[in-house]
Amino acid sequence: MSSQFAISTRDLEKDYGEVKALRGLSLDIGAGQFFGLLGPNGAGKTTFINVLIGLVKKTGGDARVFGFDVEDEYRDVRSRVGVAPQEFNVDRFFPVREVLMHNAGYHGVTKEEAAERADEALRTVGIYEKRDTKFTYLSGGMKRRFVLARALVSEPDLLILDEPTAGVDVELRRALWRIITDLNDDGTTILLTTHYIEEAEQLCDEVAIMDSGRKIAVASPAELTQRGTDTLRIQLSETPREVPDIVGTELEAGSIEAVTTEGREVVVTAKRANAVAPELVRRLDRAGYRATSIDIEPASLEEVFVDLTGGEDESEDDAPESESKRLESPEATT
């Protein structure tokens, strides 16, 4: 049985004793998608993955991978899925090439083919020269690469990456992004969990935000970001005596949430700041103020994420910084 969905779950439940890790999770992930699973620590992301790959037995609901039931048709599922887990679970004391060959062997390929696949996977992730090193003696970043290689030796149709870039440096993060983007371009479905919101924004065509075992939202990163609020800073040539009265009814209806002043700046929070900026500048002009520059800080997926999950993501401290977009107003020439 095949399916247009790589992953399809209905009302999925998982209780660990008193802890309800999944509470009725229904999710469809299309074959070929690059799908992100976001959520604070303890949201249930790893549990969801473990149910899919048969490491954890669900308490209720239905879960299918490429149409195969994750419990009744476990083997059909497992042969199509490669997983790079959050926690390393590797034979530490064998050379990594041997570990890979062994893993490829699980999937019923000949020894030669297993060796070929091991070498190819090591080359793909860029640690071929470390092929005779034991896992224990790889650097932290090489371990991450290796775990990805191990997920690849079975040539999976679905690649599941549980925080593949946690704690890796910027360069390796970019390298891993390129590798998995290439795999996705070649048709591999990707399910990625991450605490780096920028990573989801860059890579995923769709993301689900989870909290406390529930699905809070599913949309493209751009759609989710549009739910947030932009901040528009209009610099005036002089400090205004009062908050300029520039919000007409049609603008209010459009998207403006607040107008305040900070020194020479008029600060407007709005849903789609780009759309209202020109009209605001015209109104300021009519009210006798001259704008010298406009700075738009777009809403970020991170803010939307924090709004939706109602809290801080603990791992965001070392996340890459997002950039704000700077626009010069066409009216701002002196």
Ligand X SMILES: Nc1ncnc2c1ncn2[C@@H]1O[C@H](COP(=O)(O)OP(=O)(O)OP(=O)(O)O)[C@@H](O)[C@H]1O
User: Where along the sequence are the contacts to ligand X (CB under 6 A)?
Assistant: 16, 19, 21, 39, 41-47, 86
d(C-alpha 11, C-alpha 294), whole Å: 48
| Nearer Cβ to ligand X (86/181) | 86
16 binds, among ligand X, Mg ion, none (CB under 5 to 8 A by kind): ligand X
| Nearer Cβ to ligand X (41/260) | 41
Kindly state the smallest distance separating residue 239's Cβ from ligand X, in Å.
Answer: 47
- x-or-dash string of contact with Mg ion, 157-176, rule CB under 5 A: --------------------
Please tell me the count of residues contacting Mg ion according to CB under 5 A: 3
Q: Are strands 230-236 and 265-270 parallel, antiparallel or unpaired?
A: antiparallel
| Nearer Cβ to Mg ion (86/235) | 86
194 binds, among ligand X, Mg ion, none (CB under 5 to 8 A by kind): none
| Nearer Cβ to Mg ion (21/101) | 21
| Nearer Cβ to Mg ion (193/300) | 193
Q: Residues 56 to 115: which contact Mg ion by CB under 5 A?
A: 86
- Let me know: does 269 contact 229? Beta carbons within 8 Å: yes
Other beta carbons less than 10 A from residue 266's beta carbon: 24
Each residue of 75-95: b (16+ CB within 10 Å) or e? ebbbbbbbbbbbeeebeeeeb
Kindly state the smallest distance separating residue 48's Cβ from ligand X, in Å.
Answer: 7
Binding residue (CB under 5 A) for Mg ion from 8, 46, 165, 225: 46
What do you get for the CA distance between the two ends of the chain, in Å?
A: 68
d(C-alpha 320, C-alpha 173), whole Å: 10
33 binds, among ligand X, Mg ion, none (CB under 5 to 8 A by kind): none
Q: In the chain, what are the helix, strand and coil shares in percent, each to the nearest 5?
A: 35, 30, 35
Q: Whose structure tokens read 């249930």?
A: 44
Kindly state the smallest distance separating residue 45's Cβ from Mg ion, in Å.
Answer: 5
Find the residue with minimal CB distance to Mg ion: 46
- Choices 41-49, 66-74, 100-108, 295-303; region in contact with Mg ion by CB under 5 A: 41-49
- Closest alpha carbon to 173 in 205, 141, 147, 201: 141
**Interacting residues with Mg ion (CB under 5 A):** 45-46, 86
